[in-house]
Amino acid sequence: MRLIAHRGFADRYPANTLVAIENAVADADVIELDVRRCGSGELVVFHDEVVDRATDGSGRVDELPLSRLEALDVHDTNTGIVSLTEAADAIPNGTGINLELKERGIANEAVAAASTVDNEVIVSSFDGEALDQLDTDDPTVELAYLFGLNTDEDFENALALDCGYIHVHWSHWLLTDAIERAHDAGMGVNVWTIDSPIAVGLLERAGVDGVIADSPDVL
């Protein structure tokens, strides 16, 4: 079972930053990062639409240039928002990357930016249309449909998109036969967001392929 570092282990390091990536690779099999477009056109690694909650700045990411975003202070750690290109360059050979698309129209550019990653590239989103825009026949690139408590419709959407994975909320696993159904359909199952070693043990016995966690301490 693989360990996927949610935003670069957000409980231990400043989420989605270069500092997080550089430290998380010591423990994680895959680094999960949020991706959106900034005001100057580049793709950056950041979760929110606005920078106010997580930095010392204010404004919308899609209205601020990369130079301004890089100069912000994320969670008082003296580290700024990073471009996806720089983030991908920091991931060593043997470690995968999970690009969670926060908007439509960026799938192909995101995969191109992550082309330096010498391992699997997982492209995930709650938005099926964002995933459907990806145009690649690269066997190392897999789609992953994200969903929480929704169900049959989401599962069918994942099948229609030819996803390699479903990323499901831990409570969905408890309440449904998602793991068995996904495996029968040829899809892997990664469960989010896990914060307990006990839960990891249960999930491993249930046959989950990966856990998405905010800390490496879950293993």
Examine the pLDDT at 175 and tell me if it is beyond 80. no
Q: For the domain 2-218, what is the CATH superfamily, name and number?
A: Phosphatidylinositol (PI) phosphodiesterase (3.20.20.190)
pLDDT at 172 over 90: no
pLDDT digits (tens, 9 = 90+) for 19-28: 999 999 999 9
What pLDDT does residue 150 have? Answer: 64
pLDDT of residue 176: 72
Taking the model in full, what pTM does it have? 0.97
Distance between CA atoms of 122 and 4, rounded to whole angstroms? 11
**Span 118-145, pLDDT tens digits:** 999 999 999 999 999 999 999 999 999 9
Mean pLDDT check: name the lowest of 2-6, 152-156, 160-164: 152-156
pLDDT at 63 over 90: yes
For 193-201, the CB contacts below 8 A with 24+ separation are 193/6, 194/170, 194/218, 195/11, 199/170, 200/1
pLDDT at residue 177, as a whole number: 84
The mean pLDDT value for 56-73 works out to 99
